[in-house]
Amino acid sequence: MSTANLIKMVNQIALYFATEPDQQLAVAGVRNHLQLYWTPGMRKELLAWQTAHPEAELHPLAQAAISGAGWEA
């Protein structure tokens, strides 16, 4: 899968969880979704892209989920 598709998907997931009023629950929702439904290869590719492009804009919830504690690539 292309990195562009992964970025699009993680931003869509973050938008879904953005309706959660509790920020911590929203971040946990994004993180849990990625860990449950994405393959390890997809997570590693997203993390590698995010590490190489720290200035790039991901949805804030996606950014927090990827860089937060408990993230397993």
17-46 pLDDT tens trace: 999 999 999 999 999 999 999 999 999 999
In this structure, are residues 40 and 73 in contact, taking their beta carbons and an 8 Å threshold? yes
Query: What pLDDT band is residue 70 in, cutting at 50, 70 and 90?
Result: low
In this structure, are residues 6 and 42 in contact, taking their beta carbons and an 8 Å threshold? yes
DSSP string, 9-58: HHHHHHHHHTT-SSHHHHHHHHHHHHHHHS-HHHHHHHHHHHHH-TTS--
Q: Is the pTM of this model over 0.85?
A: yes
CA distance 35 to 30: 9
